[in-house]
Structure 1
Amino acid sequence: MNLSIAMPAMVNHTALPSQANASTGSHPTDAQDNWNGTLKEFKVIAPVYDWNPEIQGILLGALSYGSLLAPIPTGYVAGVFGAKYVVGAGLFISSVLTLFTPLAADAGVTLFLVLRIFQGIAQVMVFTGQFSMWVKWSPPLERSQLITIAASGGVLGSFIILTVGGLLSQTIGWPSIFYIFGGIGCACTLLWFPLVYDDPVNHPFISPAEKEYIVASLVEQGGSPGWSVPLKAMVKSLPLWAILVTTFCIFWRFYIIMSYIPTYINTVLRANLRDSGILSALPFVFSFPSLILGGQLAGFLLSRKILTLINIRKLFTTLGILVPTGLLLCLPWVTSSQSTTIIFLVLSCVFGSLCEVGVLISIVDIAPRYCAFLQGLSHVFSYISGAISPTVSGYLLNKDSEFGWRNVFLVSAAINIAGLVFYLIFGKAEIQNWAKE
């Protein structure tokens, strides 16, 4: 999220074409003055680059370019040898590269692009490796709650960086964002290695009762995948393809929101850098509790046998796709009202977080034995989407200054609805035959 909030301060807006729908509705004069004043202020504080929307889209999507092939070997290695060192190393490398981001940006677009690609590979190690730990730590009935609580940390992190990042950009310059949060990442690495263990059996502080409960609850789902992975059966599995295709479609919308919310608010709503950061953070602060509550609700519905597991997954996925898609399609029509726009963005993120309790967690349902490997495969599809989505969006915004944002949201809606239909037809939530011991 660092680059997303820093980007409005890093680019020379006077060199860009007028943004889509910026002329739709009248904006207060003081907001325009604040925005122009902000531009003059940060030009003195930090470097400014002449990057058009297309280049911005490429840089925002670069985190995913080098990540396309990394998740599968990362997930496999984490599943076989343990995730502690894989995740810890990824966290450390990504944090160090964050510290060097301002230097890379000054050196030119090419070096900046290369750094972002390597940073994306490091973050794959974090996101993919952690799932092999959940297979060993989360009892099946508690899995939805535990994974969503952990995933909510990403939402909380997004809220913090957007809130603080806009203020930092406007006061001491955008490079401080990368120095401060890169340093925090390095500090977290020092906590990770002494406190984290791959499984409850080797944990020195866990109580014997809890250890026995976790181990006993996982006996029936199978053990380590070993060195054999049934690739042929996986390729033929429609439930697996339903998860992968829908993951691609969901992350298409997710990467647009994650990458472009600060730019959208800064250019379309004409908010200054500080206000842009605060307003961009609101969708994430409301998504934080909704993600946790969604996991708790899913666990409640399952434990009380109100709905079957597959119905829970499909219900939450449907809500997590249809509602945000409809709200984003309405955004170009409400640009004259800042409050309405922010409400729509908040609601789209709140409902969108429900997908974490739906299709995005389904791999642990159909193949817990190969969870790390398949989660890596799922991340391949999400990173393909993350590479294409901002790049296509940047192209659309650069090509059509009047209807660019509308076109971005229309393409996103078509892709999301297609993915939902595919999952509703082929999605499953029981362990597949090829994933059994």
Structure 2
Amino acid sequence: MALRDGWSSPSTVEDQEEEETPLLQEPAEKWTVPPQCCSARYNLAFMMFLGFAVVYGLRVNLSVAMVAMVNTTGMQPLFNGSESKECPASSITSNSSNDIPDQPDGVPRYPWNPQTQGMLLGAFFFGYLFTQVPGGYLSGRFGGSKFLGGGVLGTAVLTILTPLAAELGIKWLFALRALEGFGEGVTFPAMMAMWACWAPPLERARLMTISGAGGNFGAFIAFPLTGFICHNLGWPAVFYCCGGAGCLWAVLWFIMVSDEPHTHPRISDREREYIINSIGSEGGSHGWSVPVLPLVCSGPLWAIIITQMCSNWSYYTLLTSLPTYMDTVLHFDLRQNSFLSALPYLGGWLCAVLSGVCADKLLEKEMLSVTSVRKIFTFAGLVIPAGFLVAVGFSGCSGILAVTFLTLSITFGGISAAGVFMNQIDIAPQYAGFLLGIINTFGTIPGVLAPVIMGLLTKDHTLLGWRNVFYLSAGVSVFGALYFTLFASGKIQTWALKDKEETVRTQ
């Protein structure tokens, strides 16, 4: 009862459930693997890498630009607690944040208080919530390339309009940022739907961490570049440059990318056969119907959802608040602020890519099961960073220690890229895009709440307030790691095997 060339099915669904990944049923040597260099699948990973670098540039530009957009001269003094005196401006931060960053003549400034800033930083995620599930469902049905490219293009165009919205008022800027999130919400589910058709099981971790690591790389590039542009050209130029880069990438994407290997005009026959045969009936379109009730009752799916919510709490807290922390507590000037805010994401990018390679090697050599690999990488990628966040709380006014611990925290956080963040394609490859839409919908809730809570905890800009921010993030991460370790799985779930059961019965 062969279901596809290259491997045979177990005689029952129960036996089939015991297999972690179908490709692992046969020795790796049996499969003729085409070269990776310049291959269509790795070119796709590189284009996704660039796309998500742009996506995160579009997402975080406001975090740094906010420092230059806000006029604090008419506001109450920022430091009124006993701990505020512990962090005076040092010689290396002589251009303190207490001095207004230089802006060209005619560039507007706005008297936004910390609560307003937190609300604007969280506005993106209000829109981001609503397109995750529809984007994942439609990408799985019609192909992900048009949704990924269109989402980036729409967000880029709206980014160009940001200075106009800010001039019109807070409500307009809030609405614009929410619309940006609405457009960008389809991108990650579309990526997952495409990899369900493109990623051979023994290369999943590498391909998906390469593409997903573009987010960390984008944050690494966007923070210092935004600071440089703000200082030299004024904050409006940040949004024009980032938006223009997004439009350019979208044009290249639509020219170079196809939804599936068999529709790609430049893929080799050898690579096409390798991808299609290794993935088999797991990937491809899931049709119009999805098993909603089994999804709702799936313990492994809820393990992914809860863990990603916990992980995203720390990630979004740092992504949106690091420039503010560098500015109001450590007193780095705008250019120092942007570079030091970016540094942790360089480590996160490198660690994510390396974790993908290591995870694939462990599976290829059959040293660990898929379940064990996902749990180990997730636990390490959440607990180790949590420890460094606690250390940040004890670093006090030492800018060197704070930056070091933050860098190590986000760097080791990249380990989880080969864990929970790709687990949905293990448990239900056909529905991977749809599942990621569901997971990211829940995972976006911390993006809405974290900046608001951060604004409340740090309204006085004291060390105690920021210490509570870091402690809260660390505690949430540890809870997520423990939950995933207890309840996660790397096995294809019964409700995701419907097509195979029907195939077995008809043979």
- What is the TM-score with the length of structure 2 in the denominator? 0.83
- The yes-or-no answer on 1:18 pairing with 2:102 is no
Matches within 5 A, 1:173-322: 173-221=234-282, 223-322=284-383
- The aligned residue for residue 31 of structure 1 is 93
Moved more, 405-414 or 135-144: 405-414
* Residue aligned with 2:185, SS: helix
Q: Is the 8 A contact 1:268 1:335 kept in 2?
A: no
Counterpart-to-counterpart distance in 2, 1:196 and 1:76: 20
Deviation at 1:272, TM superposition (A): 0.6
The 1:390–1:266 alpha-carbon spacing in structure 2 relative to 1, beyond 3 Å, is: same
Q: Is the 8 A contact 2:385 2:474 kept in 1?
A: no
Count of aligned pairs between the two proteins: 436
- The yes-or-no answer on 1:67 pairing with 2:128 is yes
| CA offset digits 1:161-218 (Å, max 9, x no partner) | 1111111111221111101111111111111111110000000100000000000001
- The aligned residue for residue 47 of structure 1 is 108
The 1:222–1:279 alpha-carbon spacing in structure 2 relative to 1, beyond 3 Å, is: closer
Matches within 5 A, 1:392-431: 392-398=453-459, 401=462, 403-431=464-492
* Residue aligned with 2:342, SS: helix
| CA offset digits 1:311-360 (Å, max 9, x no partner) | 11111111111111111122132132211111111111111111111111
Counterpart-to-counterpart distance in 2, 1:141 and 1:74: 26
- The aligned residue for residue 172 of structure 1 is 233
What's the RMSD between the two structures over aligned residues?
1.7
- The yes-or-no answer on 1:357 pairing with 2:418 is yes
The 1:17–1:303 alpha-carbon spacing in structure 2 relative to 1, beyond 3 Å, is: farther
| CA offset digits 1:35-82 (Å, max 9, x no partner) | 445x15238462221111111111111111122231111111111011
| CA offset digits 1:207-232 (Å, max 9, x no partner) | 00000000000115254211111111
- The aligned residue for residue 434 of structure 2 is 373
Q: Is the 8 A contact 1:27 1:336 kept in 2?
A: no
Give the AA of the match of 1:18: L
Q: Is the 8 A contact 2:95 2:332 kept in 1?
A: no
* Residue aligned with 1:229, SS: coil
Deviation at 1:34, TM superposition (A): 4.5
Q: Is the 8 A contact 2:426 2:490 kept in 1?
A: yes
- The yes-or-no answer on 1:346 pairing with 2:393 is no
* Residue aligned with 2:400, SS: helix
Moved more, 421-430 or 324-333: 324-333
The 1:287–1:249 alpha-carbon spacing in structure 2 relative to 1, beyond 3 Å, is: same
Counterpart-to-counterpart distance in 2, 1:75 and 1:369: 11
- The yes-or-no answer on 1:112 pairing with 2:173 is yes
Counterpart-to-counterpart distance in 1, 2:408 and 2:316: 16
Deviation at 1:262, TM superposition (A): 1.3
User: Could you say which structure has the greater relative contact order, defined with CA pairs below 8 angstroms and 6 or more residues apart?
Assistant: 1
Which structure has the bigger radius of gyration? 2
Q: Is the 8 A contact 2:329 2:462 kept in 1?
A: no
Q: Is the 8 A contact 1:10 1:47 kept in 2?
A: yes
Deviation at 1:31, TM superposition (A): 2.0
- The aligned residue for residue 61 of structure 2 is 2
Counterpart-to-counterpart distance in 2, 1:16 and 1:297: 51
- The yes-or-no answer on 1:126 pairing with 2:126 is no
Counterpart-to-counterpart distance in 1, 2:392 and 2:315: 16
Q: Is the 8 A contact 1:54 1:397 kept in 2?
A: no
Counterpart-to-counterpart distance in 2, 1:187 and 1:254: 28
Counterpart-to-counterpart distance in 1, 2:222 and 2:78: 27
Counterpart-to-counterpart distance in 2, 1:432 and 1:366: 5
Matches within 5 A, 1:81-120: 81-120=142-181
Counterpart-to-counterpart distance in 2, 1:16 and 1:316: 46
Q: Is the 8 A contact 2:101 2:231 kept in 1?
A: no
Q: Is the 8 A contact 2:352 2:416 kept in 1?
A: no
| CA offset digits 1:212-266 (Å, max 9, x no partner) | 0000001152542111111111111111000001111110101011101111112
| CA offset digits 1:90-123 (Å, max 9, x no partner) | 1111000000011111111101000001100111
Q: Is the 8 A contact 2:344 2:408 kept in 1?
A: yes
Counterpart-to-counterpart distance in 1, 2:218 and 2:186: 18
Query: Runs of 5+ in structure 1 lacking a partner?
Result: none
Give the AA of the match of 1:281: A
Counterpart-to-counterpart distance in 2, 1:45 and 1:172: 11
- The aligned residue for residue 335 of structure 1 is 396
Moved more, 399-408 or 362-371: 399-408
Query: Runs of 5+ in structure 2 lacking a partner?
Result: 1-59, 500-507
Counterpart-to-counterpart distance in 2, 1:361 and 1:218: 16
The 1:405–1:16 alpha-carbon spacing in structure 2 relative to 1, beyond 3 Å, is: farther
Q: Is the 8 A contact 1:242 1:422 kept in 2?
A: yes
Q: Is the 8 A contact 1:22 1:267 kept in 2?
A: no
Deviation at 1:136, TM superposition (A): 0.3
Deviation at 1:17, TM superposition (A): 4.9
Give the AA of the match of 1:398: K
Give the AA of the match of 1:353: G
The equivalent position to 2:203 in structure 1, one of 134, 142, 161, is 142
- The aligned residue for residue 29 of structure 2 is none
Counterpart-to-counterpart distance in 2, 1:78 and 1:335: 47
Deviation at 1:22, TM superposition (A): 4.2
- The aligned residue for residue 47 of structure 2 is none
Counterpart-to-counterpart distance in 2, 1:48 and 1:276: 19
